[in-house]
Structures are given as structure tokens and as C-alpha cells.
């Protein structure tokens, strides 16, 4: 498949100003890194030490994002950022001030690994929140000025809450990864349904850690918002392997059934990206590649994957949807 092919595989909008770089001739892989990585380094704002595992979306003529930034006490919080090109980011020094639905302050004690999705005119944000332990936090904004925090959708312990970008069968659908209170040594991806984004049920198992590939043998967690394609929901996820030097976080992808996304149609047997570059293998937590967002240009099938590297840096990788899907299908293990 030529890189400029146009099969309209992605069901979505055009984004002609998507950051993009062609695959270098020396690279034969379906996913390749941006040559300007990392795009955000140590101490990106006066109050913050590290900005990573963050979510970005197109907004107006440019881009905005909700960034995980660890402050100089090490505590994680969420900050707003904006950019003209989705590469150079202007990050606010102050954390997002959450309010409740009546406008009263509704602070959280910590917050990390945000995802942002536009559903029917509202931007929903999910993150790992503190509900007497790690749980899924949820909020929304219409203008990236007022941020409303709503009820936690699921009980602790849980992480990696990721909403689908539209209702499926008339209901909202949320991926999550039930966990424990610390650095969980297990974890499968589940999904839950809701008629109203408040009450969640009809929980289904989606995919387990393991398989013949050791890179995802310990745990898996949903990454960016799934991308709707003619071949199914394209879900990038992180897979974790346990080594004598700790966990290693890599990136894989799966295709889920469009009508029933608890059904995995295809799943990459090998990883698509694993920590290799110094900004991935060395930092606050070495050997972590953790994707929380993608942006795409539907007509060309170009996808930019935003990932956190070594719990320190923000980085971008690229892929082309048709090539990626045929790669996954050719070496799939569900
Ligand atoms: C997970 C989360 C991520 C982090 C990863 C590696 O449990 O806390 O935020 O990137 O560990 O440290």
C-alpha cells in the first residue's frame, strides 16, 4: 500500500495541519518516531518537573491539550496547554481548576494520564483520579476555560479510563483497566456501558495480558481514544513486561468490532514501538512508552501518536492507517 493511498479507511475528519514526517528510508517498521523528539523535556514550566502521558486535540485553527505534569514535589496534576503546530506547546504553570456542576471548586488531590475526546460538541476528559485510591476521574469542558469535574464512573482501583468517541448502540462506552492500589502487577482491559455518563454497567472483558509475545505478558491498558475505521475500532494500547530491572512499557494496537467493541478482531502479536531511544530508556522511570492521544487526517490516513517517554518526556510517532492495519492483520494473535 502506497503511503499516499486514499481508501478513506478512517471514518472521521480531515486535519491538513496534522504534524507529520515521512518514514525515514532506513526504517521498515509500521510506526516511526518524530525526528524532533522529545517535543517536551525536563522542567517545562516553573512549577513542573516533567510533562508526559498527555492528551491533545485539534481546536479552532490550532491545538489544545490536557497535560500530566508532575510538580516539584513529585505529585501529578493536570495542566492546560495550547499550540499552533502541535509540536511546540505553551503550557500553563497553574493546574486546571476543576469546578462542580454548580460552579463551586471541586479539586482533586492528584490526577494523571489524561485522555480527551470530543463527543457531540463537548470535550470529555478522563484521567486517573483519587477516590480513596486510584480510580477513573471524569470531567468535561466546552471551551477549555471552565472545567467541570463529574462523578467518578467506576470504583477504585482502576486506571486507563478511555471513552469511545461516539455512543455505540445508543450508549456511551468506557474502556478501563481494573488494578490494585500500587504498581499493579496484573491487568486486563474491560469496558462498561452508560446511558448518561453517570451510571455505568454491562461490564465486559475486552482483552487479557499475555499471549506468545512477552512484551505484553504482565498487563495491558487502553491508550488513546479509539479511532473509528472501516475495519473496526483501532485501539492503541500499552503492554507491559516484567523484567529483573522493572516494568517495560511498549505500544501495540488492536482492532475491535465496531458494533461490539468487547470483541477483538485482530491484535498485534509483536509491539509496534518499544523503548529504544535514550529519551525512552532513560529518565525518571526508564523504559516507558505510554500513548495517551492520537490525531489523524482521515483522507490521507496519517496518524500522529502522542506518547509519554520514560515518565519524563512528551514524544510523537507516526503511522499510516492502511499500512498499520495490514501489518496488524498479517501478524495477529487475539
Ligand atoms: C503506570 C502509570 C503511568 C506510568 C507508568 C510507568 O502505572 O502510573 O502513569 O507512565 O506506570 O511508570
Give, for ligand 1, the residue of 135, 181, 240, 290 to mutate: max count of ligand atoms closer than 8 Å to Cβ: 290
Confidence tier at 7 by pLDDT (50, 70, 90): confident
Confidence tier at 1 by pLDDT (50, 70, 90): very low
64-83: average pLDDT: 98
Strand pairing partners for 42? none
In ligand 1, the atom with minimum distance to the C-alpha of 285 is 12
Instruction: Specify the DSSP element, H or E, that contains 55.
Output: strand 48-59
Give, for ligand 1, the residue of 53, 241, 284, 292 to mutate: max count of ligand atoms closer than 8 Å to Cβ: 53
> Is the predicted pLDDT of residue 282 greater than 60, yes or no?
yes
77: cell is 496534576
pLDDT tens for 24-64 read 999 999 999 999 999 999 999 999 999 999 999 999 999 99
In ligand 1, the atom with minimum distance to the C-alpha of 290 is 10
> For ligand 1, atom 9, which residue shows the shortest CA distance?
113
Residue 61 CB partners (closer than 8 Å, separation 6+): 84
pLDDT value at residue 5: 53
82-98: average pLDDT: 98
157: cell is 482501583
Which residues approach ligand 1 with their CB closer than 6 A?
Answer: 53, 112-113, 183, 249, 285, 288, 290, 308, 311
Instruction: Specify the DSSP element, H or E, that contains 211.
Output: none
Strands 147-149, 158-163: pairing is: unpaired
Confidence tier at 2 by pLDDT (50, 70, 90): very low
How far, in Å, are 33, 99, 173, 198, 244 from residue 162 at the CA level? 24, 21, 9, 15, 30
Q: Give the separation between CA 334 and CA 220, rounded to whole angstroms.
A: 13
pTM of the model: 0.97
269-297: average pLDDT: 98
Cα(192) to centroid of ligand 1, in Å?
Answer: 22
In ligand 1, the atom with minimum distance to the C-alpha of 183 is 7
108-129: average pLDDT: 97
> Is the predicted pLDDT of residue 264 greater than 60, yes or no?
yes
Place of cell 470504583: 155
> For ligand 1, atom 11, which residue shows the shortest CA distance?
183
pLDDT tens for 169-221 read 999 999 999 999 999 999 999 999 999 999 999 999 999 999 999 999 999 99
Q: Give the separation between CA 28 and CA 133, rounded to whole angstroms.
A: 43
> For ligand 1, atom 1, which residue shows the shortest CA distance?
183
> Is the predicted pLDDT of residue 247 greater than 80, yes or no?
yes
Percent above pLDDT 90 for the chain: 98
Q: Give the separation between CA 55 and CA 133, rounded to whole angstroms.
A: 22
Amino acid at each position: 500500500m502506497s503511503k499516499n493511498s486514499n481508501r478513506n479507511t478512517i471514518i472521521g475528519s480531515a486535519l491538513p495541519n496534522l504534524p507529520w514526517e515521512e518514514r525515514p528510508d532506513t526504517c521498515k517498521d509500521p510506526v516511526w518516531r518524530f525526528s524532533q523528539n522529545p517535543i517536551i523535556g525536563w522542567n517545562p514550566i516553573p512549577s513542573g518537573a516533567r510533562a508526559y502521558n498527555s492528551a491533545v486535540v485539534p481546536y479552532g485553527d490550532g491545538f489544545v491539550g490536557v497535560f500530566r505534569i508532575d510538580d516539584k514535589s513529585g505529585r501529578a496534576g493536570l495542566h492546560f496547554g495550547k499550540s499552533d503546530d502541535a509540536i511546540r506547546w505553551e503550557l500553563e504553570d497553574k493546574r486546571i481548576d476543576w469546578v462542580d456542576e454548580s460552579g463551586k471548586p471541586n479539586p482533586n488531590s492528584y490526577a494523571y494520564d489524561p485522555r480527551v475526546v470530543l463527543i457531540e460538541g463537548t470535550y470529555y476528559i478522563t484521567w486517573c483520579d483519587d477516590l480513596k485510591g486510584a480510580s477513573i476521574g471524569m470531567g468535561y469542558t466546552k471551551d477549555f476555560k471552565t472545567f467541570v469535574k463529574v462523578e467518578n464512573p467506576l470504583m477504585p482501583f482502576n486506571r486507563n479510563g478511555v471513552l469511545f468517541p461516539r455512543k455505540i448502540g445508543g450508549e456511551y462506552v468506557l474502556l478501563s483497566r481494573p488494578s490494585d492500589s500500587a504498581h499493579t502487577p496484573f491487568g486486563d482491559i474491560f469496558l462498561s456501558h452508560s446511558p448518561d455518563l453517570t451510571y455505568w454497567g454491562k461490564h465486559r472483558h475486552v482483552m487479557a495480558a499475555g499471549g506468545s509475545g512477552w512484551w505484553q505478558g504482565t498487563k495491558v491498558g487502553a491508550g488513546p481514544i479509539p479511532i473509528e475505521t472501516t475495519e473496526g475500532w483501532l485501539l492503541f494500547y500499552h503492554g507491559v513486561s516484567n523484567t529483573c530491572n522493572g516494568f517495560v512499557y511498549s505500544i501495540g494496537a488492536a482492532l475491535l468490532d465496531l458494533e461490539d467493541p468487547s470483541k477483538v478482531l485482530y491484535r498485534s502479536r509483536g509491539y509496534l514501538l518499544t523503548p529504544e531511544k535514550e529519551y525512552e530508556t532513560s529518565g525518571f522511570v526508564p523504559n516507558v512508552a505510554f500513548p495517551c492521544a492520537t490525531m489523524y487526517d482521515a483522507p490521507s490516513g496519517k496518524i500522529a501518536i502522542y506518547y509519554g517517554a520514560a515518565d519524563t518526556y512528551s514524544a510523537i510517532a507516526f503511522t499510516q492507517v492502511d499500512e498499520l492495519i495490514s501489518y496488524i492483520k498479517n501478524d495477529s494473535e487475539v
